[in-house]
Every structure is written in C-alpha cells, then in structure tokens.
Structure 1
Amino acid sequence: MDKKIRVAEMFAGVGGFHLGLSRASSHFEVIWADQFEPSRKNQFAFNIYKKNFPETNVVNEDISLINKTNIPYMDMLVGGFPCQDYSVASTGAKGIFGKKGVLWWDIKDVIEAKWPQFVFLENVDRLLTSPGINSVQPGRDFGMILRTFSDLGYGVTWKMINAADYGFPQRRRRTFIFAFRKDTNFKKYVKNIAQLGEENIAEFIKSMPPLSSSLKNISIGEISEVDLTKYNSLIDFSDNFSVEKAFKKTGFMIDGHIYMADYQPYIVKPKTLESIIKPNETDETLYLTPEKENKFKELKDGFKTIKISKSGHKYPYGMGAIAFPDPLNKPARTMVTSEHTVSRMSHVIKDPGNGLLRLISPEEAEQINTFPIGWTLEKNITPSNRYFMMGNALVVDLVKVIGIEIEKLAKKEHRKKYINSSKLEVIKH
C-alpha cells in the first residue's frame, strides 16, 4: 500500500503516538499535532515534540480555542486524554455541554469537523468504571463516549490492556479505544458479526482487530449486552444510564448495541527492570538518605479504612503494601508524574552495582515507556519535568503493535471482503 495514512494527534505530549505509529509503518504520516499544557509556564512537552519531529506541523494552542475546521484533512485522529466527568446538561439555547469533561467534547468537535475514517484513543483503566464503581452510575463516562461515537456514525472496539501482559517493561493498565466510520468496510463487517449470534460474537471479541489480533486473548468470559439506543438523547443518557458493575475489559459497540466480556490475556514473558536499570548510577541525588528511606517504608505499607459514598453507602477502602524496594525481576509498576518525589507510588530500586537504594533515573523512566534514551532532554529542563512527562506518556511499543494492525485494516478498506476465523464465512460487501 503506497497511500499514506494521514494522522492528526490531539494532546500529543512528547509524541508517544507519533513515535509508536512511525515504528509500526512508514505509511503513517502525522500531518498535524497539538500539545498545550495550560497549567505550566514552560511548554517543555511541546518543545520536545517539535525537537524530535521537526517536519510535523505541531501547534502549541489551547484545543478549545482552535477552529476545528482549520485542522488539515486526516484519515485517523489519535490522542490520549484525561479521565474526567462526562455528564452533560442542557443550557437553553446553548444546547448540550459537558460539565467537566471538556476535552472529550473537543475530540467530538474535531471528529464532527473532519470526519476521519478511524479514531484511536488512550485513557486510564478506570474510565470503564468512572465516575466510580461505588457511584450510582458506574461506567457512565465511558458509556457517554460510546453513545457519542454512535450518534456521530461510528462503531467502536475497546480493550483495557496491561502492557506487561504482552511483553513490555511496565505494568501500565490503559483503556484503548478504536472507532471506525459508518461507511468503512470494517464497520459493515462488524455489523454482520453482531447479527451472526453469540458464538461468532465471542470469537470476534477474543481476536478482534486491532486490539486483540496481535495482543491475543486465551479466553473470554460471559458476554454482556447493553442497548444505548433506548436513551432518547445525551441528556437522557447522562441522567438515567445504568449498567451492572460498569463496563467489562473488552468489547465492541455497533449501531448503539454493546457486546462485552472480561478476558484472560495470552501472557508474553515481559521485559523486567533488571534489563533496564543501570548499575552504579552516578547521579548522587537519586540515592536515599536514611530519612527518606524511613519515609518510603512508611508510605509503602498498606492500610484499610471505611468510606461513605454520597448516597450514604459504607464501603471498605484500602491500599495494599507495595514491595520495598521494587523487585528487579519484574516489570516496573505504573509510572506516575511524581516519580521523583517521596511518595507511595515512586519506584525505589536497589542499585545492582553498589547495592544502595535509589530512585530510577529520567533515562530509565524513558526506557520503561520504551522511548529512546534522552528523548525528553531539552534546554533548561529539570529532572522533575522529565519524570512528569513520562508519567503522562504511554508505552510506545504497545502503540506500535496496535498500529501494525490498524495499517492492515486500512489496507483492507481497499478490498471487497474480510476473512476472519474458520468459524466465520467470507463476508462480501
């Protein structure tokens, strides 16, 4: 396939999507990106993106202020966006607005303005239960995203993926969302599968592209169905949506009808911290003082308590103990933006060269996310800024694997048929 797949990137960070797709295939061409950090005076992520991708038209503007019609034509929109409150309210003549999840509505506006063939998004794992498993509407926020895609004329597949399950050096759990426009062959194919019955639906969920065709599942659980079409509007949906125990880890939505299941991954031997950590680190500021060591021990102990929900329901809440120091024979835990601080979630390792306790270095943080060493180096940047950006980043090589499957789907858009497993006949369009 000689045709380029033109990609636009929102909330671009330091370019994890861009780098992953470029590793997947030279056919992906990022033609526009936006990176803006409203809470920071120094726009380091934008500068790093521009340094590493000098040929890309990357802008440093608040996405809410950008005229979406001026964004270049695209085949695929990508981006990682924060998990927020996606409830909606009617404001008279102003129509429907999200109360807090404004970034999602900017994504919606871009899709409406440019109508890309595909959309590929990443979010936190808890999106599937947001605004909370103990709330009266667990999963409402993800349901709102699915309902919005359906109203825009898209089908969706999703999967919550632990990167370490598939051989990557971090136990980072993230929800990946892939949407496909109503006029695509893939949309017609998935719609046919939904009509073929539960056995075929189960087989598709188990191995559906682009999120499970390479990132294989060995089994899936019971299939649940949800009908989004019974809600008259987004406001009706926001006020009245309910689903038992929120959304399951993987599934698909077609014409407002959802089929989903939990799954067991086909686990690949992961890359461990031992293969990344540099012995005899020379940066003395990374090593723990006795005071810091004692504080870390205290923070990493587990605790249990009882909380009360807004509805008055009591429920147990706690956090288990975290290994101290972090074992080198396992992948890293999920990195956080405060990785350099004395906090419960910061990694502490025993340096394999000198046996002393220390924090991971910025270069090690980059490798844990499968970025090249030195990717986040920038003039006047501090180590804390570099950790912050890696805490917000994604696992690049996971995007690469999914990108390879997306390219296959793009190629099939130029063909007249799809062929799936032996249980499914060839479906002609």
Structure 2
Amino acid sequence: MNKEFKILELFAGVGGFRIGFENSNKALYKTKWANQWEPSRKTQDAFEVYDYHFPDSMNLNENIEEIPDSVFQKMDADIIVGGFPCQDYSVARSKKNEMGIQGKKGVLFWEIIRAVTQIKPQYLVLENVDRLLKAPSKQRGRDFAIMLAAFNELGYSVEWRIINAAEYGRSQRRRRVFFFVYRNDTEFAKKIDKKFEAENPDVFFESHLYDSYIFKDGLFARQFPVVPQPVKNRHATYKLSSDIVDISDNFTGTVWNTGIMRHGRYFTIDTVPTMEETPIPLGKILESEENVPEKYYVTDEKRLEKFQYLRGSKKIERTSVDGHKYIYSEGGMAPTDDLNLPGRTMLTSEGTVNRSTHFIEVNGRHRLITPIEAERLQDFPDDWTKYKRLSDGTIVEVSDRMRMFFMGNALVTEIVKRIADELENIISEENF
C-alpha cells in the first residue's frame, strides 16, 4: 500500500492526534492541515507549540467559525481528526426555515459538520468527554443523537466507544468517548452492508447481527476488546428522526458506552473491557528523584495543610443564589496518590493547590508531578511542551502552568495510535 492518507487536524491543541497517527504509521498518515485557536486569550500558546513541532504543514491559527468554506474546499483531506469542545448542541428552526436548522452561536461541532460538507473525507476520528453521551441532564443522550443524525444526513456511519486508557494498558484513568466515522460509500461500509445485508437497516437491527459488529467486526472491537455480552442486559435500539429539530425537541432514547449508527438507526450497549491489559502505575512514570527541581516539592506547612483539607471529607453549609441554605458534602480521598495505581484523570488545573491535582509522596517528601510526568501520563514525548515558536520565529520556553494546562486538555496518544493502527488495517482491506 503506497497511498498517503491526508489528514486535517481540527482543535489541534499541541498535536495529540498527530502524534498518535504518526506513531502508528508516519509514511501512511500525513497531516497536511491543522487549526488551533484558543478563544479569549491574547497569546496562542498551544498553537505556538504545535507550530514549533510541525512547521511542515499548513497550520492555521484562526477561529474555525471564520474559516471560509472556500478554504475547506481546497483541502482534499481523506481523514479529519479532532477533540472538539463539549457544548450545548440544541437546535432550532430558523424563522425563515433557512437550512432547516441553526445551531446555537459558538457550538463548534457544527463547524466539523461544515468542514465535512465541504471536504467529504472518507473517515473521521473524533474525541470528547464521556459525559457527552448523557447530556443534557434533562434529556440524556439528546446531544449525541443530534450528532449522529447530522452525520447520517451527510451519508456517514458512526461507531463509538468510551475508553478508559488505564483499562488498555496506559498510565491514566482517563475516560473519553471516541468516534470512528466513515462514509457509507467506502469499501469498509460496503463490506459491512454485504455481510449483514444491511442495505435494509431493519435486517441489521432486528436480527441482532449488530452483536457481531460490536464484539468482532467494528474498529473498536478489534483494538479494544470487551466482554461479549451487555452489562446487566443494558442495550437499546433507536430510529433517528430525519428532522434534527425533532430530535432536539423530543429525543427519548438511551445511549450506552458502546454503539453503532448506520442508515439512520443505532444500536447501543453497555460493555466492559476483557481486562487483559495491565495498566502502568503512576510510580513508573515518575522522573528519577535527582532530576526533580526543588520547586515541585511542597514543604510549606500551610500548603501541606491545604492539600490535607482539600483531599479530606467535608460537609459545608452553603447558600444558593435564591437564599436557600444547603449542605455540600464531599467524600474523602487518600492523603496522597497511590504510586501503585495508574494516575487519576488530569484536569487543566493540574499543578495548582486543588483537590484534583496529583499530590504524591516519594521517599518521605511531598511534591507535585512535573510537566514531563504530566506529558508521560498522556503518552507525549518528554518535554514536548517545553518550547513554542512565536509569530516572528523566536523560540521561547513555555511556563509550567501552561504546560500543565495543555496536558489537562490533551488526550492519551497511545489510544489514538491503536485507533490509527486499526484504521490502517481497514484501509489495507480496501486494497489501496
């Protein structure tokens, strides 16, 4: 196979998707375009780190909403990748009924749909927080159903899975939902249709042939095996309305952590991993003690007491905005993070005096994790975020605070690599 697959990376951050795909097969996967824009910031640190590492691609530092259709039309991308912000996806019909629907201002998922409409890639690999499948709280699953319907309208199928990186051998208990989206005229889609006679979706869904897809034939099934039966018999099928506004107003379905949407219907199931892979413990990713600067150690008694308080159980009386008094309760955590377990999910507040910050004890001394250790928790190369390139070409160092912020926003690149590995198998089966 000597064909290159050209990639557009949206919401690129510091390049997590690109690292994963290039670690899989740099000769096959060529990222030609990337866009990264941080709203409400005077500096564009993430873009500058990306541009420092990848000066060979067309790197745009623009609000995606302001990128013209004509720019997307010039991108002959085979694959679009990206981890997009999680927002409210509700839609409403415009007064003039123009375009049928209009997303709320600033909902960036619709910009992905706009890019897909202009580029028509064969595949997409997307990532988001796992709570997307349960959003919003008053109509659980609605936002995700809207997304499925939007892809269906454009002639795509969607396979999804919530993946906890630690359950597949990595060093962080990070749960994220990944999407594998493929155009219905690809050879992969045609083979699925032929195998399951799914040109008629009722055959696929009513005969339970979807079990084979979920447990054997799908991309995630091949790389991230699960126990071949639903947890507590939790499964559901749902036929999506052809009217996205109707879904926004009236969706009543269920969405579990694994599923497949084809031809306007989806099957979803609650799965658990086969648990055959051993995670990397936090202690294994730590730098050798002599390499850790003193500034990461916590020696001040007030800071130590603050961490003890934040990680302890508590009941606090609070007053709501309307004057109602209530008790806020919070369970206790271990005083320090267990070095024999994989790390907890990193947030953008990592490194601050915060309950969510990793707080460790090594040889009787308390400290925070270093930027390199944060990068290792996300399977980035050491010091990946240390430098950035300014618009005038100057190379400068990045602050520790921003480096931690980047990693709190990033994804586990080895999970992306495995997705890219299996996508290569799918591409190979198409005889390119």
TM-score, normalisation: structure 2 = 0.88
- Call closer, same or farther: CA 1:162–1:305 in 2, change over 3 Å: farther
- Call closer, same or farther: CA 1:306–1:254 in 2, change over 3 Å: farther
Deviations 1:167-191 (A, max 9, x none): 0010000000011102112223334
Alignment match, 2:219:
210
Alignment match, 1:372:
381
Pick from 229, 233, 237: which aligns with 2:247?
237
Deviations 1:370-396 (A, max 9, x none): 101010012142100000000000001
Any idea what SS the aligned residue of 1:107 has? helix
- Call closer, same or farther: CA 1:149–1:232 in 2, change over 3 Å: closer
Matched, 1:299 2:299: no
- Call closer, same or farther: CA 1:241–1:297 in 2, change over 3 Å: same
Alignment match, 2:115:
110
Alignment match, 1:423:
none
Aligned AA (1:326)? D
Alignment match, 1:17:
17
| Alpha-carbon distance in 2 for matches of 1:389, 1:371 | 11
Tell me by how many angstroms 1:322 deviates: 2.6
Matched, 1:391 2:401: no
Pick from 285, 289, 293: which aligns with 1:283?
293
CA RMSD of aligned residues (A): 2.2
- Call closer, same or farther: CA 1:199–1:240 in 2, change over 3 Å: closer
Aligned AA (1:76)? I
2:307, 2:354 within 8 Å by CA — same for their partners in 1?
Answer: yes
Tell me by how many angstroms 1:411 deviates: 1.9
2:236, 2:255 within 8 Å by CA — same for their partners in 1?
Answer: no
- Call closer, same or farther: CA 1:292–1:27 in 2, change over 3 Å: same
Alignment match, 1:182:
184
Matched, 1:270 2:287: no
- Call closer, same or farther: CA 1:373–1:84 in 2, change over 3 Å: same
1:7-406, aligned counterparts within 5 Å?
7-25=7-25, 26-71=27-72, 72-93=75-96, 94-95=98-99, 96-99=101-104, 102-132=107-137, 135=138, 137-191=139-193, 192-193=195-196, 195=203, 198-221=207-230, 222=233, 224-229=235-240, 231-243=241-253, 246-267=254-275, 268-280=277-289, 282-288=292-298, 289-302=300-313, 319-351=330-362, 354-378=363-387, 379-406=396-423
Alignment match, 2:324:
none
Larger mean Cα displacement after TM superposition, 33-42 or 366-375: 33-42
| Alpha-carbon distance in 2 for matches of 1:372, 1:66 | 31
TM-score, normalisation: structure 1 = 0.88
| Alpha-carbon distance in 1 for matches of 2:316, 2:120 | 48
1:7, 1:76 within 8 Å by CA — same for their partners in 2?
Answer: yes
Tell me by how many angstroms 1:306 deviates: 12
- Call closer, same or farther: CA 1:304–1:76 in 2, change over 3 Å: farther
| Alpha-carbon distance in 2 for matches of 1:257, 1:48 | 41
Structure 1 unaligned blocks of 5 or more: 308-315, 416-429
| Alpha-carbon distance in 2 for matches of 1:125, 1:17 | 18
1:82, 1:123 within 8 Å by CA — same for their partners in 2?
Answer: yes
| Alpha-carbon distance in 1 for matches of 2:286, 2:41 | 30
Larger mean Cα displacement after TM superposition, 285-294 or 73-82: 285-294
Deviations 1:345-404 (A, max 9, x none): 0000112xx421111000100011010101001214210000000000000111001100
Deviations 1:144-193 (A, max 9, x none): 11111111110110000000000001000000001110211222333453
Alignment match, 1:425:
none
| Alpha-carbon distance in 2 for matches of 1:8, 1:282 | 37
Deviations 1:274-321 (A, max 9, x none): 1111243542222222211211122223457999xxxxxxxx996543
Percent identity (aligned): 40
| Alpha-carbon distance in 2 for matches of 1:185, 1:67 | 31
Any idea what SS the aligned residue of 2:219 has? coil
